[in-house]
Structure 1
Amino acid sequence: MTTEGVPASETGAGDSLTLTLRLEGFEGPLDLLLHLIKREEIDIWNIPIAQITEQYLQYLQVMKDLNINLAGEWLVMAATLIYIKSRMLLPPDPAGGAQEELVEDPRTELVYQLLEHQKFKNAAQMLYTRQEVENAVWNNPRKRREK
Protein backbone atom coordinates (compact mmCIF):
# COMPACT_ATOMS: atom_id res chain seq x y z
CA MET A 1 0.00 0.00 0.00
CA THR A 2 1.27 3.45 -0.85
CA THR A 3 1.54 6.23 1.68
CA GLU A 4 -0.62 8.59 -0.36
CA GLY A 5 -3.43 9.92 1.78
CA VAL A 6 -2.19 8.12 4.88
CA PRO A 7 -2.01 10.26 8.02
CA ALA A 8 1.39 11.68 8.81
CA SER A 9 1.50 9.58 11.99
CA GLU A 10 1.36 6.44 9.90
CA THR A 11 4.32 7.60 7.86
CA GLY A 12 6.31 8.59 10.92
CA ALA A 13 5.89 12.36 11.01
CA GLY A 14 3.53 15.02 12.25
CA ASP A 15 0.27 15.11 14.16
CA SER A 16 -1.73 11.87 14.23
CA LEU A 17 -4.91 13.60 13.04
CA THR A 18 -3.33 15.46 10.13
CA LEU A 19 -3.89 14.25 6.60
CA THR A 20 -0.80 14.90 4.51
CA LEU A 21 -1.77 15.47 0.89
CA ARG A 22 0.72 14.30 -1.69
CA LEU A 23 0.20 15.98 -5.04
CA GLU A 24 2.46 16.89 -7.91
CA GLY A 25 4.22 20.04 -6.72
CA PHE A 26 2.76 19.99 -3.19
CA GLU A 27 2.98 17.88 -0.06
CA GLY A 28 1.36 18.98 3.18
CA PRO A 29 -1.94 19.53 5.00
CA LEU A 30 -5.06 20.88 3.29
CA ASP A 31 -5.07 24.12 5.27
CA LEU A 32 -1.55 24.87 3.99
CA LEU A 33 -2.71 24.18 0.44
CA LEU A 34 -5.63 26.58 0.91
CA HIS A 35 -3.28 29.19 2.37
CA LEU A 36 -0.92 28.92 -0.60
CA ILE A 37 -3.82 29.18 -3.05
CA LYS A 38 -5.07 32.25 -1.19
CA ARG A 39 -1.64 33.87 -1.48
CA GLU A 40 -1.57 32.82 -5.16
CA GLU A 41 1.63 30.82 -4.62
CA ILE A 42 -0.11 27.75 -6.06
CA ASP A 43 -2.44 28.01 -9.05
CA ILE A 44 -5.83 26.46 -8.31
CA TRP A 45 -5.98 25.25 -11.91
CA ASN A 46 -3.17 22.80 -11.10
CA ILE A 47 -4.98 21.19 -8.15
CA PRO A 48 -6.32 17.67 -8.90
CA ILE A 49 -9.54 17.63 -6.85
CA ALA A 50 -10.16 13.94 -7.68
CA GLN A 51 -6.76 12.99 -6.24
CA ILE A 52 -7.43 15.00 -3.07
CA THR A 53 -10.79 13.26 -2.68
CA GLU A 54 -9.22 9.83 -3.19
CA GLN A 55 -6.56 10.55 -0.57
CA TYR A 56 -9.22 11.75 1.86
CA LEU A 57 -11.26 8.56 1.40
CA GLN A 58 -8.13 6.51 2.11
CA TYR A 59 -7.55 8.66 5.19
CA LEU A 60 -11.08 7.95 6.43
CA GLN A 61 -10.52 4.21 6.06
CA VAL A 62 -7.30 4.39 8.09
CA MET A 63 -8.80 6.53 10.85
CA LYS A 64 -11.06 4.31 12.96
CA ASP A 65 -11.55 6.78 15.81
CA LEU A 66 -12.08 9.83 13.65
CA ASN A 67 -12.93 13.08 15.37
CA ILE A 68 -16.17 14.16 13.61
CA ASN A 69 -15.42 17.87 14.05
CA LEU A 70 -12.10 17.47 12.29
CA ALA A 71 -13.78 15.56 9.46
CA GLY A 72 -16.40 18.28 9.08
CA GLU A 73 -13.78 21.02 9.02
CA TRP A 74 -11.82 19.15 6.37
CA LEU A 75 -14.93 18.61 4.25
CA VAL A 76 -15.78 22.32 4.38
CA MET A 77 -12.30 23.25 3.16
CA ALA A 78 -12.40 20.62 0.40
CA ALA A 79 -15.90 21.72 -0.67
CA THR A 80 -14.70 25.33 -0.78
CA LEU A 81 -11.83 24.31 -3.06
CA ILE A 82 -14.25 22.49 -5.36
CA TYR A 83 -16.61 25.47 -5.38
CA ILE A 84 -13.86 27.95 -6.24
CA LYS A 85 -12.49 25.76 -9.00
CA SER A 86 -15.94 25.14 -10.49
CA ARG A 87 -16.75 28.88 -10.45
CA MET A 88 -13.50 29.62 -12.24
CA LEU A 89 -14.18 26.94 -14.86
CA LEU A 90 -17.60 28.34 -15.76
CA PRO A 91 -17.72 31.01 -18.45
CA PRO A 92 -19.11 34.39 -17.44
CA ASP A 93 -22.89 34.64 -17.71
CA PRO A 94 -23.59 36.72 -20.84
CA ALA A 95 -27.08 37.58 -19.55
CA GLY A 96 -25.59 38.74 -16.24
CA GLY A 97 -24.33 42.04 -17.66
CA ALA A 98 -24.01 44.56 -14.82
CA GLN A 99 -24.68 41.90 -12.21
CA GLU A 100 -21.39 40.27 -13.14
CA GLU A 101 -19.57 43.17 -11.50
CA LEU A 102 -21.55 42.69 -8.29
CA VAL A 103 -20.60 39.01 -7.94
CA GLU A 104 -17.52 38.82 -5.78
CA ASP A 105 -14.58 36.56 -6.40
CA PRO A 106 -15.25 33.15 -4.78
CA ARG A 107 -11.77 33.25 -3.30
CA THR A 108 -12.85 36.15 -1.09
CA GLU A 109 -15.12 33.81 0.88
CA LEU A 110 -12.26 31.32 1.20
CA VAL A 111 -9.99 34.03 2.60
CA TYR A 112 -12.70 34.97 5.10
CA GLN A 113 -13.17 31.33 6.14
CA LEU A 114 -9.42 30.84 6.52
CA LEU A 115 -9.18 33.93 8.73
CA GLU A 116 -12.08 32.70 10.88
CA HIS A 117 -10.50 29.24 11.05
CA GLN A 118 -7.21 30.78 12.19
CA LYS A 119 -8.99 32.70 14.97
CA PHE A 120 -10.44 29.45 16.32
CA LYS A 121 -7.11 27.64 16.04
CA ASN A 122 -5.44 30.48 17.97
CA ALA A 123 -8.17 30.42 20.63
CA ALA A 124 -7.85 26.65 20.98
CA GLN A 125 -4.08 26.95 21.38
CA MET A 126 -4.50 29.67 24.01
CA LEU A 127 -6.97 27.50 25.96
CA TYR A 128 -4.65 24.51 25.73
CA THR A 129 -1.70 26.56 26.98
CA ARG A 130 -3.79 27.94 29.82
CA GLN A 131 -4.86 24.42 30.80
CA GLU A 132 -1.24 23.27 30.80
CA VAL A 133 -0.23 26.17 33.07
CA GLU A 134 -3.12 25.49 35.46
CA ASN A 135 -2.27 21.78 35.55
CA ALA A 136 1.34 22.62 36.34
CA VAL A 137 0.29 24.90 39.20
CA TRP A 138 -2.40 22.67 40.72
CA ASN A 139 -0.51 19.41 40.25
CA ASN A 140 2.90 20.58 41.43
CA PRO A 141 4.08 18.10 44.12
CA ARG A 142 6.55 20.63 45.60
CA LYS A 143 3.76 23.03 46.46
CA ARG A 144 1.90 20.28 48.33
CA ARG A 145 4.99 19.39 50.39
CA GLU A 146 5.61 23.02 51.36
CA LYS A 147 2.18 23.35 53.00
Structure 2
Amino acid sequence: MLILICFIVGFCLGYYIRGQKQSAPQRAIQNQPPQRSHVQRLYSKSQHRSDSDRIRDLNQLSTHQAAFLRLLKQTFFNYEVSIKQQRFFILDQDKMPLAIFEYRDGTQSFKAMDYEDGIPVYTYKALISSEALQQDLEMLLQQRPSH
Protein backbone atom coordinates (compact mmCIF):
# COMPACT_ATOMS: atom_id res chain seq x y z
CA MET A 1 0.00 0.00 0.00
CA LEU A 2 2.84 2.36 0.88
CA ILE A 3 4.45 1.66 -2.49
CA LEU A 4 1.22 2.54 -4.26
CA ILE A 5 0.90 5.85 -2.37
CA CYS A 6 4.56 6.74 -3.09
CA PHE A 7 4.03 5.88 -6.72
CA ILE A 8 0.94 8.13 -6.96
CA VAL A 9 2.67 11.02 -5.10
CA GLY A 10 5.74 10.66 -7.33
CA PHE A 11 3.59 10.63 -10.44
CA CYS A 12 1.73 13.79 -9.31
CA LEU A 13 4.97 15.60 -8.40
CA GLY A 14 6.54 14.66 -11.73
CA TYR A 15 3.50 15.87 -13.62
CA TYR A 16 3.47 19.15 -11.66
CA ILE A 17 7.21 19.82 -12.17
CA ARG A 18 7.00 18.97 -15.86
CA GLY A 19 4.13 21.47 -16.27
CA GLN A 20 6.18 24.24 -14.64
CA LYS A 21 9.15 23.71 -16.95
CA GLN A 22 6.98 23.95 -20.06
CA SER A 23 5.14 27.06 -18.88
CA ALA A 24 8.39 29.04 -18.57
CA PRO A 25 8.35 31.93 -21.07
CA GLN A 26 10.15 31.05 -24.24
CA ARG A 27 12.41 33.61 -25.81
CA ALA A 28 10.80 35.13 -28.84
CA ILE A 29 12.81 34.78 -31.98
CA GLN A 30 13.14 38.18 -33.58
CA ASN A 31 13.53 38.42 -37.30
CA GLN A 32 15.84 41.36 -37.72
CA PRO A 33 16.83 42.40 -41.21
CA PRO A 34 20.51 41.92 -41.91
CA GLN A 35 22.72 44.92 -41.38
CA ARG A 36 23.32 46.62 -44.70
CA SER A 37 25.98 49.08 -45.66
CA HIS A 38 25.20 52.68 -46.57
CA VAL A 39 25.64 51.96 -50.28
CA GLN A 40 23.27 48.97 -50.10
CA ARG A 41 20.62 51.08 -48.34
CA LEU A 42 20.92 53.78 -51.00
CA TYR A 43 20.65 51.20 -53.77
CA SER A 44 17.59 49.54 -52.22
CA LYS A 45 15.79 52.89 -51.88
CA SER A 46 15.27 53.19 -55.60
CA GLN A 47 14.98 49.54 -56.68
CA HIS A 48 11.81 47.47 -56.78
CA ARG A 49 11.56 43.87 -55.72
CA SER A 50 9.67 42.91 -58.87
CA ASP A 51 8.28 44.34 -62.07
CA SER A 52 4.77 44.20 -60.65
CA ASP A 53 5.82 46.57 -57.83
CA ARG A 54 7.27 48.97 -60.40
CA ILE A 55 4.09 48.87 -62.50
CA ARG A 56 1.93 49.33 -59.40
CA ASP A 57 3.89 52.47 -58.48
CA LEU A 58 3.46 53.82 -62.01
CA ASN A 59 -0.29 53.19 -61.93
CA GLN A 60 -0.69 55.04 -58.64
CA LEU A 61 0.56 58.34 -60.08
CA SER A 62 -1.95 61.16 -60.44
CA THR A 63 -2.20 63.11 -63.69
CA HIS A 64 -0.13 65.95 -62.24
CA GLN A 65 2.51 63.52 -61.01
CA ALA A 66 2.64 61.93 -64.47
CA ALA A 67 3.21 65.37 -66.00
CA PHE A 68 5.94 66.02 -63.42
CA LEU A 69 7.51 62.67 -64.38
CA ARG A 70 7.58 63.72 -68.04
CA LEU A 71 9.24 67.02 -67.06
CA LEU A 72 11.83 65.11 -65.02
CA LYS A 73 12.57 62.75 -67.90
CA GLN A 74 12.97 65.67 -70.31
CA THR A 75 15.23 67.58 -67.93
CA PHE A 76 17.34 64.63 -66.75
CA PHE A 77 17.58 62.92 -70.15
CA ASN A 78 21.07 61.50 -69.41
CA TYR A 79 19.85 59.79 -66.25
CA GLU A 80 17.25 57.16 -65.47
CA VAL A 81 14.15 58.18 -63.52
CA SER A 82 12.71 55.57 -61.16
CA ILE A 83 9.48 55.81 -59.15
CA LYS A 84 9.03 54.20 -55.76
CA GLN A 85 6.34 55.06 -53.21
CA GLN A 86 5.37 58.18 -55.19
CA ARG A 87 8.93 59.50 -55.04
CA PHE A 88 10.98 60.12 -58.16
CA PHE A 89 14.59 58.94 -58.02
CA ILE A 90 17.22 60.23 -60.43
CA LEU A 91 19.68 57.36 -60.97
CA ASP A 92 23.18 57.41 -62.42
CA GLN A 93 24.72 54.70 -64.61
CA ASP A 94 25.35 52.49 -61.55
CA LYS A 95 21.65 52.71 -60.54
CA MET A 96 22.59 54.76 -57.48
CA PRO A 97 20.27 57.66 -56.58
CA LEU A 98 21.59 61.16 -57.27
CA ALA A 99 18.50 63.01 -56.10
CA ILE A 100 14.97 62.38 -54.91
CA PHE A 101 12.02 64.44 -56.11
CA GLU A 102 8.61 64.48 -54.46
CA TYR A 103 5.56 66.07 -56.03
CA ARG A 104 2.42 67.07 -54.15
CA ASP A 105 -0.75 68.46 -55.63
CA GLY A 106 -1.77 71.93 -54.51
CA THR A 107 -2.89 75.37 -55.60
CA GLN A 108 0.14 77.45 -54.61
CA SER A 109 3.58 76.75 -55.99
CA PHE A 110 6.10 75.67 -53.39
CA LYS A 111 9.62 74.27 -53.59
CA ALA A 112 11.80 72.99 -50.75
CA MET A 113 15.05 71.07 -50.48
CA ASP A 114 16.32 68.77 -47.76
CA TYR A 115 18.80 65.91 -47.42
CA GLU A 116 18.09 62.25 -46.70
CA ASP A 117 21.05 59.89 -46.27
CA GLY A 118 23.25 62.41 -48.03
CA ILE A 119 20.96 62.62 -51.06
CA PRO A 120 19.18 65.89 -51.85
CA VAL A 121 15.38 65.65 -51.61
CA TYR A 122 13.44 68.23 -53.60
CA THR A 123 9.79 68.73 -52.71
CA TYR A 124 7.54 70.44 -55.23
CA LYS A 125 3.97 71.48 -54.58
CA ALA A 126 1.81 72.45 -57.56
CA LEU A 127 3.18 72.27 -61.07
CA ILE A 128 6.43 74.17 -61.46
CA SER A 129 8.08 75.03 -64.76
CA SER A 130 10.96 73.11 -66.23
CA GLU A 131 13.29 76.07 -65.51
CA ALA A 132 13.17 75.19 -61.79
CA LEU A 133 14.10 71.60 -62.64
CA GLN A 134 16.90 72.83 -64.89
CA GLN A 135 18.28 74.88 -61.98
CA ASP A 136 18.18 71.78 -59.78
CA LEU A 137 20.02 69.80 -62.47
CA GLU A 138 22.75 72.43 -62.66
CA MET A 139 23.06 72.49 -58.87
CA LEU A 140 23.32 68.67 -58.78
CA LEU A 141 26.01 68.67 -61.44
CA GLN A 142 28.00 71.28 -59.49
CA GLN A 143 27.77 69.25 -56.28
CA ARG A 144 28.58 65.90 -57.89
CA PRO A 145 32.24 65.34 -58.80
CA SER A 146 32.85 64.11 -62.36
CA HIS A 147 34.09 60.55 -62.89
Higher strand share: 2
Q: Fold-level match, TM-score > 0.5?
A: no
TM-score bracket for this pair, using the shorter chain length: under 0.3
Structure of greater Rg: 2
TM-score of the superposition, structure 1-length normalised? 0.23
TM-score of the superposition, structure 2-length normalised? 0.23
